[in-house]
Structures are given as C-alpha cells and as structure tokens.
Amino acid sequence: MKSKKTKVILGMSGGVDSSVCAYLLKKQGYEVIGLFMQNWDSYLNNDFLGNVNESKQTCNVQKDFNDAKAVADKLGIKIYRVEFIQQYWDKVFKYLIQEYKKGRTPNPDVLCNKYIKFNEFIKVAKNKFHCDKIAMGHYANVKKIKDQYYLTKAIDENKDQTYFLCWLNQEQLSKTIFPIGNIPKDEVRKIAHEQGLDNWNKKDSTGVCFIGERKFKDFLNNYLPIKKGKVIDIVTKKVVGEHDGITFYTLGQNKNLGLGGQQNKYFVCKKDFKKNIIYVVDQNNKEKYLSSTKCEVVKFNWINKNQKKSAKVKIRFRHRQELIDGKYEIKNNKVILTYKPTIAVAPGQFAVLYSNKKCLGGGIVNKLI
C-alpha cells in the first residue's frame, strides 16, 4: 500500500522565494497546497495619501495572485486565496499607529509574523485544510533538538529574517518549514530560472509588511494629524527648520527632514512632545547625543525555556544591523541589555538576541538607561 504524502500549506505571495519553496517541497515528496494572503485593502483602510500605487492597488494584489497561480499551475498544485484584512488591522496596524502616537519606533513585521502569518494562517491550515504543517518563504531555519525547537539564522546572512521572527513560540515553530533557509538568494533565483518560473527575476517586496512601498510620512498622515513645530539644533539652540509633526520622525533619522539649505547633515536626536519640538544634531556631535550603552526591554519572548538569568549575547536593534556584542540580565520580568556604544537605539524598536546561529528571542525597547 502506497504511503500517504505529508500535506503542507505554503504561503504563496507571487514572489520568487515562495515559488521556489513550492518547487522544493513538491520535489521532496510533500502534497503542497498554496495559500495566497491579502491582509491590506487601501480602500477599506483609507490608504490614499502617500500611496504611490493607489490607482493600481487592486490590480497589484490581483497581479501578485496571478503570479502565484501561474507558478502553482506550472507545478501542478492547487492554490486558494484568504483575507486577513480585519485581523491585520486589529492585531498589527492599530499597534503601529498607537506606537507612532507615543513617538516610538515600532516594527510591524514582527507582529505580522506573530499574529497573522504564523497564527491566523495556521488556523486556516488546520481548520479548512486539516493540515498541521505550514511552510513560508522566509530566510530562516528551524531545528529540533530533543523536545525543543530552535530558530536559527539562514545561510544567507544578508537575507536572514530571524529578526522578524523573534516573537514566535514553540508551537508555531513546531508546525513550520522554511524550505529555502539553507539556500543563498542568488541560488533561489537560479533554481526558479532553471525551472522556467516566470517570476524568477521579480523584484523583492519592500515597505511595511503586506502594505508595501509608501511615502511614509504622507502614509501616516492618513491616520495621524499634521501639527507643525520647530526643529532646533540641540548644540547651538538655533531654529534650523520646521517639522510636520513629531510622530512622523524617528530617532537617528537623517533623511526627509526638510532642512534644505543647511550646510550640516542633521540627525533627529530628541523629541519634546509637550513643546512639539524636534531636536537635531550634526554629524560631529552625533556620538554624544545619539549613542547609548544600556536599555530596558519589555514583553520579551524567549523562544526556548530554561534561559540563564544573565549571559553574553549578540544583539540586533534593526534588521540587517551588524550584530553588537552585549549582555542581558533578567530583572523583574524585564530584560536589561548592556552593549557596545550604539547609535540610534530607540524606544519601540525590537531588541533581538543571538547566541551563535540561534535566535534566542526578542522584546520591545522600553527606555534607554
């Protein structure tokens, strides 16, 4: 009697990564079903300002689905569509706006993975398709050692996405396959080309998770009001410009400050909400006003149990940031990080910890100490 194939539900976006995942999974003998997610609707969500593709929004979603379907048809697998528009708004986007209102620097991609791609998606896989295994085109790996699942970095360090997966738990990892975690990006495109997949050279998606590229300040203005105020050089105390609203600027930002005509290159170093003032600092004084060595992290998710109370680690505060030498210490359910002097660590960012190839987990920077 022929053994039944293991069924896996694959998130297919129409991009090259998930397409190659479909090919590899089928080659490995899985029964593959594609599932295309739509998590954002510009018309329902009043997304007009800053939307460079506003007139094409529906067409873009349909084009991505058509690309995914073309791959599915070529490989002989079924593909379905699912919408998580309301869930994305409730679990991810509301948080994004709330954090910006507080003047913080959020990362919606971490929440998108936690609550949508590896939660709502898993529910559909189980309830509709009666399948306990899912696959995603992330550059990451899952390794099982005894009774624990470990999240480890991709072989392609430049594409590694474990930073965005730091809030996943054991149950989510136990159900997940990352087929391209051990394949460099160039090789992924080569495989797609060799297999005759039409999207082998398709541009990688960028911008906010499932929303895409936006003129970000204008985009936020759909949901946050403009309130102009002064931009002041923190060293000279001179007014050097005018801002459109504190919520639209992040610590360390040096682009789109609207400070034309200034000889110095300025960086946002402080925001005074009560007075509605943004303080900036020039290149020569950046280290003094933007560097930090210690911070408090809250809502920390330890991917694996039995962590030490303190240990030396590598730290990353931004995706693709060079890993920073540091140490963590657990105090009163908070994680205190000390690290080498680092520019522009900002409240709201995710601090993600690593030990060799393992991602230990991550949490939200609450304040600098």
List the chain domain ranges: 7-216, 224-287, 291-368
pLDDT at 258: 79
* Beta-strand relationship, 7-11 and 31-38: parallel
Strands, E, within 155-276: which ranges? 176-177, 229-233, 239-243, 266-272
In this structure, are residues 98 and 247 in contact, taking their beta carbons and an 8 Å threshold?
no
Planar angle of CA 321, 293, 339, nearest 5 degrees:
60
Residue 208 pLDDT: 57
Distance, CA of 199 to CA of 369 (rounded, Å): 47
Give the H or E element holding residue 292.
strand 291-302
> Is position 359 annotated as part of the catalytic site?
no
* pLDDT value at residue 50: 47
Q: Which amino acid is at 109?
A: D
CA distance 295 to 301: 16
DSSP 94-137: HHHHHHHHTT----HHHHIIIIIIIIIHHHHHHHTT----EE--
What is the rounded distance in angstroms from the CA atom of residue 322 to the CA atom of residue 316? Answer: 7
pLDDT of res. 220:
81
Q: Please report, for residues 19, 28, 165, 253, the alpha-carbon distance to residue 94 in angstroms, rounded to integers and kept in the order given.
A: 31, 40, 20, 23
pLDDT at 60 (0 to 100): 80
Residues of the chain by 3-state class (helix, strand, coil), percent to 5: 30, 30, 40
Residue among 112, 139, 66, 134 at smallest CA distance from 210: 112
Burial of 144 (0-12, 13-18, 19+ CB in 10 A): exposed
Which listed residue (21, 131, 209, 269) is catalytic? 209
Query: To which CATH superfamily is domain 7-216 assigned?
Result: HUPs (3.40.50.620)
Q: Is 166 a catalytic residue?
A: no
Which among 30, 71, 35 is positioned nearest to 200, based on CA atoms? 71
CATH code for the structural domain at 291-368: 2.40.30.10
Residue holding tokens 């599932």?
35
| CATH assignment, 224-287 | 2.30.30.280
Annotated catalytic residue within 112, 131, 166, 269: 112
Q: Within 10 Å of residue 55's Cβ, how many Cβ atoms?
A: 10
Could you read off the pLDDT of 26-85 as tens digits, one per residue? 999 999 999 999 998 877 666 655 455 544 455 688 899 999 999 999 999 999 999 999
Q: What is the reported pTM? A: 0.91
User: pLDDT tens digits for the chain (369 residues)?
Assistant: 345 789 999 999 999 999 999 999 999 999 999 999 999 887 766 665 545 554 445 568 889 999 999 999 999 999 999 999 999 999 999 999 999 888 899 999 999 999 999 999 999 999 999 998 999 999 999 999 999 999 999 999 999 999 999 999 999 999 999 999 999 999 999 999 999 999 998 988 765 565 555 566 777 888 888 899 999 999 999 999 999 899 889 999 998 887 876 677 999 999 998 999 999 999 999 999 999 999 999 999 999 998 999 999 999 999 999 999 999 999 998 999 999 999 999 999 999 999 999 999 999 999 999
Query: Contact at 8 Å (CB) between 118 and 176?
Result: yes
